[in-house]
Amino acid sequence: MAAEGRGGEAYGEAVIYRADGPSAAARQGAVACLIRSVGGADYRLPHTGQTDYANDAPKIPAGAVTAEDADLIADLVRQGPVRMKLVLTPQTLPDVESANVIGDIKGSEHPEQVIVVSGHLDSWDLGTGAIDDGAGVVVSMEVANLIQKLHLKPKRTIRVIAWMNEENGLAGSKQYAKDQEKEWMNHFAAMETDGGADHPLGINIKAKPEVKKTFAPVAAILQGSGAGMLNLVEHCGADIGPMEKAGVPAFSAIQDSRFYFNYHHTAADTLDKIVPKELAENSAVVAVAAYALANMEQPLPR
């Protein structure tokens, strides 16, 4: 699936085994649970990520093994009983205070109406979080930079948000929702980049289907750089989820996802995986979309 360009869907199908596997195994009497890494990584890299414990099952230790080691273990099990000793070191420490980072370019005509452009600051710490989600933060900051550099005057406010704590509970997103939920009608649209920095192909739209038609002139501009696709989707980003739920039209770049899950949540999520030209292409696509939203004549249907 990832090779077909449907990396996100492939991950969606695989990730439930990591999220729900330990409780499912515990209900069958397991004392611990090892999950085959759910990304596409080889080079014997384990892939980490969120795991949920259900209330109706014992909370057993759980970890991810590399695809290579999972194959080896499966092979050994076919030959007879296998004994394993697990040494798992992760711990959940008490919460500490942290923050979303937010910056506005005030709208010239409707400053109270906001287009959110965002990525998330935190990352899993076995890599450096370059593609997940340093890229999304840089893309969003560069949107503001491009608009300033081009001396554009957006009519609505463009709000860049670097979210805190996407990976481990969405605390930044939840706090923003708490602080802003009375302002959702003034949130004109929300965007998030959280799929790395590979070549953008177009724009995902989570909104009423007619928004796709409204966006056709924007797609025509982006077509020249190979990013003219428009897809109606169910979900555009985890941190903007509360806004999506409240009916705020949501958008994200459609990104080439063939290789993202080979590095995401592994020790190989490092800056060398980012191709500067493709990172710039992502900024351009999000900037064009955000500026178009900021200057749209009519409000979008909800």
Catalytic residue list: 166
Please enumerate in sequence order all residues whose Cβ is within 8 A of that of 83, keeping only pairs 6 or more positions apart, or say none: none
| Least distance between Zn ion and beta carbon 133 (Å) | 4
Closest to Zn ion by CB, 113 or 193: 193
Q: Give the number of other CB atoms < 10 A from CB of residue 114.
A: 25
Pick the closest to residue 207 from 252, 247, 158 (CA basis). 247
Q: Give the number of other CB atoms < 10 A from CB of residue 85.
A: 4
Window of 34-42, 71-79, 132-140, 290-298 that interacts with Zn ion by CB under 5 A: 132-140
Closest to Zn ion by CB, 196 or 249: 196
Which segments of the chain does DSSP mark as H helices, in order?
7-27, 67-79, 135-149, 171-180, 210-214, 216-223, 241-245, 260-263, 276-294
Regarding 142 and contact with Zn ion (CB under 5 A), the answer is no
User: Applying CB under 5 A, what is the total number of residues that bind Zn ion?
Assistant: 3
Contact between residue 45 and residue 267 where contact means Cβ atoms under 8 Å apart: yes
Regarding 133 and contact with Zn ion (CB under 5 A), the answer is yes
User: Which residues ranging from 188 to 217 are in contact with Zn ion (CB under 5 A)?
Assistant: 194
| Phi, psi (degrees; rounded to nearest 5) at 52 | -105, 145
Window of 130-138, 154-162, 274-282, 292-300 that interacts with Zn ion by CB under 5 A: 130-138
CA distance 152 to 209: 29
| Least distance between Zn ion and beta carbon 71 (Å) | 27
Closest to Zn ion by CB, 263 or 291: 263
Closest to Zn ion by CB, 142 or 194: 194
| Least distance between Zn ion and beta carbon 136 (Å) | 7
Contact between residue 287 and residue 234 where contact means Cβ atoms under 8 Å apart: no
Contact between residue 257 and residue 8 where contact means Cβ atoms under 8 Å apart: yes
Closest to Zn ion by CB, 46 or 237: 237
| Least distance between Zn ion and beta carbon 281 (Å) | 19
| Least distance between Zn ion and beta carbon 49 (Å) | 10
CA distance 196 to 274: 8
Closest to Zn ion by CB, 194 or 198: 194
Amino acid found at 215: F
Sign of CA dihedral 212, 139, 254, 199: positive
In this chain, which of 115, 122, 132, 222 binds Zn ion, going by CB under 5 A? 132
| Least distance between Zn ion and beta carbon 196 (Å) | 9
User: Which residues ranging from 237 to 296 are in contact with Zn ion (CB under 5 A)?
Assistant: none
Largest CA distance in the chain: 72
Window of 7-15, 143-151, 187-195, 279-287 that interacts with Zn ion by CB under 5 A: 187-195
Window of 21-29, 32-40, 125-133, 293-301 that interacts with Zn ion by CB under 5 A: 125-133
Site string for Zn ion, 84-123 (x = CB under 5 A): ----------------------------------------
Please enumerate in sequence order all residues whose Cβ is within 8 A of that of 116, keeping only pairs 6 or more positions apart, or say none: 159, 161, 187, 189, 190, 191, 192, 240, 243
Binding site for Zn ion (CB under 5 A): 132-133, 194
